[in-house]
């Protein structure tokens, strides 16, 4: 999975993160997770394995299965949203994931 490893957005604004994946993973659930440690990060939003948009609290995720990309949007950003996050794909065994550093601009 490839992604921009660092993204930033303005306070009270929004940001989007593009998470790409290989063909073959289209119908798997995609998720967005917060926390420095992959093992115990907190999943904020997860797709149901379709192209339908899934919404969490100030965060949404949409999987474009034709383009093999899922997009995470974080809205109404606050200072304390700056953290390490992960794009992930749920599968049996260990999930696939990639780290993304989020910073908030003044």
- In the chain, where are the structural domains located? 6-104
Burial of residue 5, with CB atoms counted within 10 A of its CB: 0-12 exposed, 13-18 middle, 19 or more buried: exposed
Q: How many CB atoms lie within 10 A of CB 30?
A: 28
Global pTM? 0.93
pLDDT at 38: 86
Q: Are strands 96-105 and 6-10 parallel, antiparallel or unpaired?
A: parallel
Q: Provide the pLDDT for residue 60.
A: 98
Residues of the chain with pLDDT under 50: none
Looking at the domain that runs over 6-104, which CATH code has it been given?
Answer: 2.60.40.10
Q: What is the pLDDT of residue 56?
A: 92
For residue range 47-72, list pLDDT tens digits in order: 999 999 999 999 999 999 999 999 99
């Amino acid at each position: 999975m490839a992604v921009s490893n660092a993204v930033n957005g303005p306070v009270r604004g929004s940001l989007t993160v593009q998470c790409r994946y290989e063909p073959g993973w289209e119908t798997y659930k995609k998720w967005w997770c917060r926390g420095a440690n992959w093992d115990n990060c907190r999943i904020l939003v997860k797709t149901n394995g379709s192209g339908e948009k899934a919404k969490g609290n100030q965060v949404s995720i949409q999987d474009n299965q034709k383009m093999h990309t899922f997009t995470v949007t974080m809205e109404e950003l606050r200072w304390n949203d700056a953290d390490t996050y992960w794009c992930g794909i749920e599968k049996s065994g260990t999930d696939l994931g990639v780290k993304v550093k989020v910073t908030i601009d003044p």
